[in-house]
Amino acid sequence: MTQTAVIFGSLFGFTAVIFGAFGAHLLKKKLTTDQLQSFETGVKYQMYHAIVLLILGFNLDKNSTIDTYIINAFVIGILLFSFSIYGLVISSAKNKKIKILGPITPLGGLFLVTGWALLLFKFIV
């Protein structure tokens, strides 16, 4: 079991539920439909990858370098992708959009894609 994967998987799952409820109940009245959809995209991707981290945490080898790269790619990807979306949506709803977060979202997506590509590579090789 890789401790990092199960800890981050649990943390991201826990916070995804909280952020999902926060978006559905508190932000719904303050956000536009597009903003709410963007926020929900961040929550969905966070939860999907939290589940993946939990599964990987119980199935990957903590001593394997590629397994460590896979886990790190998913953790970094979630942090950059989902959390930059949360920041962009909330700051833009307050008319104080944090523009530096804009380029961070696709970078997070690139880390998520890299995690999936490494996982595929692990299974093929």
Packing angle of the helix pair 3-21, 65-93 (nearest 10 deg): 20
- Sorted by sequence, the CB contacts under 8 Å of residue 77 that are 6+ apart come out as 49, 108, 109, 110, 111, 112, 113, 114, 115
The per-residue pLDDT for range 15-50, each reduced to its tens digit, is: 999 999 999 898 888 899 999 999 999 999 999 999
Give the pLDDT of residue 2: 86
Tally of domains within the chain: 1
Determine the structural domain holding residue 105 and report its residue range.
Answer: 3-124
Tokens describing residue 85: 């979306």
Per-residue pLDDT of the chain (125 residues; tens, 9 = 90+): 689 999 999 999 999 999 999 998 988 888 999 999 999 999 999 999 999 999 999 998 878 999 999 999 999 999 999 999 999 999 999 889 898 999 999 999 999 999 999 999 999 98
CA 9 to chain centre: 10
| C-alpha–C-alpha distance, residues 115 and 72, integer Å | 8
- pTM, to two decimals: 0.94
